[in-house]
Amino acid sequence: MGLWEHIVAGVLAVLLSEPLLGVPVVILMVSGGFLLGITVGATPGLAGPMAMAIALPILISIFGFSNDALLPVLGFLIGIMKGATVGGAVPAILFNTPGTPDAYMTTLDGYPMAQKGEAKRALRIAHFSSASGDTFSDIVLVVCAPFLAILVERYLDLPEKTALLILSLAFIASVIGGSVGKGIISMGLGLLAAMIATGEDFYPRLTMGQSNLAEGIPIAAAVLGVLILGEVFKALEDLHRQSGSNASPEITPGKGSALSRADLRRLFPYVGRSALIGTCIGALPGVGSTLAATLGYTTAKRRYIASKPDYAPDFGDGAAEGIAATEAANSSVSGANLIPVLSLGIPGNAAAVFLILAMDSIGGFNPGPSVFRLGGGIGDSVMNPEMVMVFGIFTSMFVANALNWTIGGIFMRSVGFMARIPKERLLPIVLLLTLTAIYVQETSMAAIWMTVFFGFLGYGMRRVGMSPLPFVIAFILGQNLEATARQAFAATGADPFFLFNSPIALAFILMSSGVVIYNLRKSAP
């Protein structure tokens, strides 16, 4: 079966999925996820990954572990991921409070515009830029992921694959967060946790005789504990310390003009440039949408100063270009960050972590180069079900884009009230939902205690200024790294220097040391 048959089958898998309430279930799930994502994004204190984390175990308990479950579950998660970046701009513009961290730059021009009575216009610009960036990024994903996968398959043998994993971890540890040392410690802790009770030996190692650990640490317990509980604990403490709120007064969207063709033409170069920046950053593992937004904004600012007419507002005083540059950049991360996920199985940010977690829990889809192999390794006359699944995922992403262009803007302008929900109410709900979700998936109290333990670990890491993301990514890649390294060692006839014998592997290892040393020097005073 050729590529075309796989594409058609993938599209049909979405469009002809079992109807629920008269709508194909995958499309329904993407829509549900998307609207939930906008709502969550518009709520300061909640973020896309949080909603994805809580939704995942609940979705799995509804859809089960069958192959039919993958697309509806992934569709919902992708919907949340995309909706949240759009929604993040709403409170940024109306309340001067970013709904998601990557919308911080949007407050700089969004809120001043709103103060001038142009709130609705600002929201429209944010939506237009966000949807454009997102669509662009998805197109790049569809074009690039298969080629990257084929390149990996053709040129990388087991030692090179090991070296590539080491390079990804080195990159993530040194780029995320302010300190290379803390990043590496965070990554090391993640690898240590991944070592517990895994490996090829029949004896469950590092469990200290605890039978609850014999199956290893449940991946959901570690990931949700560090990412979600850690955040909730820290936010609760922050609330406790803060007295009174210093929120800016709300501005209602009011009436405003639609964007004219001239507006769009003026904004287009800013959107385009930022979309390109966001896409490139998204494709690198570990560098998230916040950096993309910052880079998009600063690049646009430099451009703008050089070319702006005298009467136009400066960046920071309500320039439409500022909103456009930020929103296009942070939204274009979401498609591109699936490039390393699908072609290498390496997650680049928290949202990608939950997509991998979903694929891993449901089974039947193992992200990596084999996904893009025609015939699935069985024969040319046979469909590769994983490849069909990939095109189903791509189709879901474009369904989300279509929703974004059509109803996204309208829905976005109606969720401003979410920012008024007090965190004192919100955080305990998140805490309870997370623990419930863990119990639904693992059905054991031991898993709950482990989650709470990792929650305190995540809290501690945040307190000392250590990013928990390297921990999570290392935890997810840890087993893969160990298995690949073992296999490479065996395949080369027990050669201890397998990482240094091929030019590509050697280059990856040198780059790994290079990226650590470079970032160490940069952060040194």
Tokens 């690049």 correspond to what residue? 299
Q: Please, what is the minimum distance in Å from the beta carbon of residue 203 to another protein?
A: 6
> Angle 505-350-386 (CA atoms, 0-180°, nearest 5)?
65
| 215 or 263: CB nearest another protein | 215
Q: What are phi and psi of 24, to 5 degrees?
A: -55, 135
Tokens 């919308």 correspond to what residue? 103
| 307 or 443: CB nearest another protein | 443
| 196 or 292: CB nearest another protein | 196
Q: Please, what is the minimum distance in Å from the beta carbon of residue 77 to another protein?
A: 17
Question: Which pair of tokens denotes residue 417?
Answer: 């009230």
Question: Comparing C-alpha atoms, which of 255, 257, 251 is closest to residue 125?
Answer: 257
Tokens 């969720």 correspond to what residue? 415
CA–CA separation, 365 vs 456, rounded Å? 32
Q: How far is CA 156 from the centre of its chain?
A: 26
Q: Please, what is the minimum distance in Å from the beta carbon of residue 43 to another protein?
A: 32
CA–CA separation, 289 vs 344, rounded Å? 20
Question: Comparing C-alpha atoms, which of 44, 106, 478 is closest to residue 326?
Answer: 106
Q: Please, what is the minimum distance in Å from the beta carbon of residue 201 to another protein?
A: 8
Angle between helix 70-87 and 3-15 (nearest 10): 80
CA–CA separation, 211 vs 213, rounded Å? 5
| 180 or 197: CB nearest another protein | 197
Q: Please, what is the minimum distance in Å from the beta carbon of residue 383 to another protein?
A: 11
| 11 or 383: CB nearest another protein | 383
CA–CA separation, 194 vs 72, rounded Å? 29
| 307 or 381: CB nearest another protein | 381
Residue 23 β-bridge partners: 20
Q: Please, what is the minimum distance in Å from the beta carbon of residue 447 to another protein?
A: 13
Q: Please, what is the minimum distance in Å from the beta carbon of residue 147 to another protein?
A: 16
Would you tell me which residues interact with another protein (CB under 8 A)? 65-67, 153, 157-158, 197-198, 200, 202-204, 211, 214-216, 361-364, 366, 369-370, 373, 375, 377-382, 443, 483, 486-487, 490-494
CA–CA separation, 7 vs 372, rounded Å? 12
CA–CA separation, 26 vs 46, rounded Å? 25
Tokens 């609940």 correspond to what residue? 58
| 203 or 311: CB nearest another protein | 203
Question: Which pair of tokens denotes residue 487?
Answer: 């296999």
| 358 or 457: CB nearest another protein | 358
| 60 or 333: CB nearest another protein | 60
User: Using CB atoms within 10 A of its CB, is residue 78 exposed (0-12), middle (13-18) or buried (19+)?
Assistant: buried
Residue 20 β-bridge partners: 23
| 309 or 493: CB nearest another protein | 493
Q: Please, what is the minimum distance in Å from the beta carbon of residue 214 to another protein?
A: 6
Q: Under 8 Å CB-to-CB from 84, ≥6 apart: which residues?
A: 37, 38, 40, 41, 47, 48, 51, 100
CA–CA separation, 435 vs 420, rounded Å? 25
What does the H/E/C string look like for 406-457? HHHHHHHCCCHHHHHCCHHHHHHHHHHHHHHHHHHHHCCHHHHHHHHHHHHH
Q: Please, what is the minimum distance in Å from the beta carbon of residue 495 to another protein?
A: 10
CA-atom Rg of the chain in angstroms: 23
| 66 or 414: CB nearest another protein | 66
Question: Which pair of tokens denotes residue 204?
Answer: 């469950």
| 197 or 355: CB nearest another protein | 197
Q: Please, what is the minimum distance in Å from the beta carbon of residue 364 to another protein?
A: 5
Q: Please, what is the minimum distance in Å from the beta carbon of residue 366 to another protein?
A: 8
